[in-house]
Chains A and B, each alone.
Chain A
Amino acid sequence: MCGVLALAVGVLTFTALFVDMALDGFGRLSWDFFTSYPSRRPGQAGILSAWVGSTLVMLTTAVFAVPLGVATGIYLEEYAAKNWVTDLIEINITNLAGVPSIVYGLLALGLFVYQFGLGQSILTAGLTLALLILPVVIVATREAIRSIPQAIREGSYALGATQWQTVRYHILPYSSAGILTGIIIGMARAIGETAPIITIGALTFIAFLPPSPFTAGPFEWLFSPFTVMPIQMFNWTSRPEAAFHANAAAAGFVLVLMTLAMNGLAIWLRYRLRRNIKW
């Protein structure tokens, strides 16, 4: 009985929060909201530069985090010998998962922005978030690979396949759904991260888009200043005028819908996976 109550508290709070935000922000949601730049006049402000920035940063994050995370997972499960290097890597990943996200922001500020001279760019943000979600991708990859029965590997070796051929044609295809689940959860986390991106010094008022790869050089946009959805929301939330709070609510509504959709997709994928796999 007590348990139902506790659960109800959680559910009710969440519903209250969500409904409150939806009510505050719903009036602002329109086509114009998605196609306008931020503005000093709250009624005309929009999230165009924010959602374009978020999309580009996510793209960069995925390009770095997915290959690195999957490769690390494969190495630890299929290749690594039991020695101190492996132990070191494993302890590292566990610890990194517990490091507060703002510390990643400090790493990026000291290393990417100043030491490597990448500036406060989309590339810096993408790299930072990639490092941040790396443990999530690695753990998901390892779990997916671990659930594949040994017999599959033995069968592949018996047919004369090398270790890499076994990984490439058997391990990776069978674990891909599990890996995908981990990637989606990691990306959902990255899209909502605010603190590390503020720490690298991303501007909050951006009224232009990064250069298009078709008119400027193909990689110019990587070095462009940017803003992302959570930063735009932070900016509007911390202003005193109530009209901006409505904008913040609308941006938050879009952001929550995006993360809920991504997490929901991951949960659904995992559910289907659990039901359909029969080795």
Chain B
Amino acid sequence: MQTPIAERLARRRARVIRERLIELVLLLAALVSVLTTVGIVYVLVKESVLFFQQVPLGKFLTDTQWTPLFDDAHFGIMVLLSGTLTSSAVALAIAIPLGTIIAIYLSEFAPFRLREVAKPFLELLGGVPTIVYGYFALLFVTPLLQRIYPELPGFNLLAAGIVMGIMIIPYVSSISEDAMRAVPMSLREGSYALGATRFQTAVKVVVPAAFSGIASAYILGISRAVGETMILAVAAGMQPNLTFNPLEPAATITAYIVQVALGDLPHGSIGYQTIFAAGLTLLVFTFLFNVAGHVLRKTFREAY
């Protein structure tokens, strides 16, 4: 006997409702990531507003001292920013040349077998926890550098920057390599047909063609360096110091946040609010880099 029509319709409606419900649940899960962004901006802005009610923005940007926990409190973000920029510059001076050369080599010259081994190895390198890199910077690289340059203090931006550069190499090389491999074979063949050598082809044809991808790899490297925390907190010291000399110790924005978090600051105090202001500065910087990367990609995109 056939099921009555009413019952079949009811079952069908139940099925439609269930399908809609499932879609709704999945949408809600997807919205969690939007909520995360909202949460980050809300928390940082809320505490920063309280902070800027007590410290004018002009002072924050121009003061040359950072002593938020002293009686004579100064809040000059320049001091922390100088540490962040100097260590990032050292890191990029290591990571960009090495990362680019490795990418060119793996994409254009390396035999298939070597590439199959090197790529996962670089990936593993990127997976090592940053605290371990911090240990190396403080207890392996700094003593090594001190043998060459004995006056180097135990905490310094140079060792931290070098190790940070090594940490960033895999990010730079793997994205650059992907971009170069996406360059069509016909371009290389055209170059060879004109009598170019392999090296000329790699440098003058493949790299310019893949430039937008390589640029975004650099940008990613920069924002990694600026946001890196543990290597600097361990190896560069936590003393605020307005300097662009990598041989000196200096605190970065991230190291300052760690230092405050390690102490026991009461919730709602000005010291507590400074770390949110510092975090907001950091977020603004990484956001600017992301936008710059996006623009670069758009401008230099070559479509084939």
A residues sitting closer than 8 Å to B (CB atoms) are: 2-7, 9-11, 13-14, 16-17, 20-21, 24, 67-68, 71-72, 74-76, 79-80, 88-89, 92-93, 95-96, 98-107, 109-111, 114, 131, 134-135, 138, 162-164, 185, 188-189, 191-195, 198-201, 204, 230, 233-234, 237-238, 245, 248-249, 252, 255-256, 259-260, 262-264, 267, 271
Contacts and interface: CB of A to CB of B under 8 A. Distances in A.
B101 interface: yes
A3 B109 contact: yes
B140 A20 contact: yes
Given A71-B29, A237-B134, A105 B257 contact: yes
B40 A99 contact: yes
9 contacts: A10-B166, A89-B30, A99-B286, A103-B279, A107-B39, A134-B32, A135-B33, A252-B131, A264-B120
Interface in B6-40: 15, 18-19, 22-23, 25-27, 29-34, 36-37, 39-40
B106 interface: yes
Interface residues of B, number: 78
Contacts of B175: none
A24 B104 CA distance: 36
B134 A234 contact: yes
Contacts of A201: 261
B254 interface: yes
B230 interface: yes
Interface of B: 15, 18-19, 22-23, 25-27, 29-34, 36-37, 39-40, 42-44, 46-47, 97-98, 101-102, 104-106, 109-110, 118, 120-125, 127-136, 138-140, 166, 169, 220, 223, 226-230, 233-234, 254, 257-258, 261-262, 267, 275-276, 279, 282-283, 286-287, 289-290
Given A17-B140, A100-B227, A245-B139, A192 B32 contact: no
A10 B169 contact: yes
B104 A192 contact: no
